Amino acid sequence: MAGGVVGITSHKDITLAVDGKTQQISTMAFSVDRVLRDQGYSPSNADQVLPGLKSGLKEGQTIVFNRHKTLTLNIDGKTSTVQTTATDIKQILDENGYEDALAHPQNFGPDSVPLTGGLVQVTLPKRIRITDGTTTYRTDIAARTVAEVLKNSGKPLTPLDKVRPAADTPIRPGMKIVVTRIRTEESTVTEKFSADPVTKDDPTLVKDRKVVEKAGKPGTSEVTYRLTIVNGKVTEREKLGSKTLTEPVPATVRIGTKPGAPYVAPGSVWDQLAQCEATGNWAINTGNGFFGGVQFDQNTWERWGGLEYAPRADLATREEQIAIASKTQAAQGWGAWPSCSSKLGLR
């Protein structure tokens, strides 16, 4: 067009990263400074701007704008004032000489840095030893208290758990933490139970001897328990209730009322014989075929009525054995015990 001037202003699509947060914008500005001011920012010499404020723009460019901040930095209780344009805590640690701490992928504290300054608290990793239940291990972990250690490890304390030192104890390097894991659960099982036997007096049996006339049959019940489990082992079982499934059948037992063997005072000739035959042990059973204090063989015990008292001599009382020994001696003489009766001068 004659006498006219045509001006063409080019739009550019760029990426703007402000304090670590990015956004895509479209601008007609010619410089970085203009872009920032158009977005409502007033950059100062203390801010970090990349590329510089006077730099021109091109399509697809990224502008980084990190504002200056004055912070009070508390690292494990030690405070200092820092000037920084860092956008996260790890950058601040790097700037202040804590590069070694960055080797551990831990949570050092809040990830973002407050734009208006203020207090930033950081807890650095510390090597500690943990015995958790039945497992012991060492770890480098960032936490302020014992409770935080376990939470950050993915195994927080439950209300029933016990820990030493106490959960609110501050962490120090080399600390040993012992956790006792306690939990409760209900368990329902099927159990057998017996009814009290039906008893009958029997005057043909020696007093207090019991013979099962008719066997019983156990019943079954469903029993619920509360289990206390400490470090994986059941340490306590509390019965909460039960429900009978099948009723038991009681056994029938005959109980003897017939007077038993008479009392024999200690130190009798039979005690002397038992001392020689069996070192005075009336319940001896060595497996050699002889039983009890005066070493009955089974045939002799049965022949002279020993089954009235017990199936074998070693299962009978001292007085019962003496009663059968007296019958044996009356029939066979002291020769029934040839060696010991000779030693004792009984024949």
CATH number at residue 40: 3.10.20
Q: Please say if the pLDDT value at position 319 is more than 70.
A: yes
The per-residue pLDDT for range 69-89, each reduced to its tens digit, is 998 888 888 888 989 998 888
Residue 343 lies in a domain: no
Residues 190 and 252 both lie in one domain: yes
Residue 292 lies in a domain: yes
State the average pLDDT over residues 52-72: 92
- What's the number of domains the chain is made of? 5
Mean of per-residue pLDDT scores for the chain: 91
pTM score of the predicted model: 0.58
Inform me whether the pLDDT recorded for 57 exceeds 70.
yes
192 and 252 together in one domain: yes
Cβ–Cβ under 8 Å, residues 49 and 3:
no
CATH number, domain at 230?
Answer: 2.20.230.10
- In which domain, by residue range, is 307 found? 260-338
Residues 197 and 240 in one domain: yes
Q: Is the pLDDT of residue 99 over 80?
A: no
Q: Is residue 280 part of a domain?
A: yes
Same domain, 154 and 175: yes
Tokens of 94: 């790097």
pLDDT computed for residue 100 by the predictor: 61
Instruction: Quickly state the pLDDT bin for 111 (edges 50, 70, 90).
Output: low
Residue where one domain finishes, among candidates 196, 223, 257: 257
Instruction: Please give the Cα distance from 45 to 87 (Å, whole number).
Output: 17
Within a domain: 347? no
Note whether 252 and 302 are same-domain residues: no
98 and 135 housed in the same domain: no
Q: Which has more confidence, 89 or 62?
A: 62
Look at residue 101 in the predicted model and tell me its pLDDT: 60
Residue 144 has what DSSP assignment? S
Question: Is the pLDDT assigned to residue 346 strictly greater than 70?
Answer: yes
Helix (H) or strand (E) holding 69: strand 69-75
Q: DSSP letter string over 3-49?
A: T--------EEEEEEETTEEEEEEE--SBHHHHHHHTT----TTSEE
Among 123, 100, 99, CA closest to 110: 123
Q: Tokens standing for 144?
A: 């302020």
- Taking the alpha carbons at both ends of the chain, their separation in whole angstroms is 160
269 with 327, same domain: the answer is yes
CATH number (domain holding residue 297):
1.10.530.10
Distance CA 173, CA 189 (A): 48
Residues 265 and 324 in one domain: yes
Q: Where are the alpha helices (DSSP H) in 196-268?
A: none
In a domain, 215, yes or no: yes
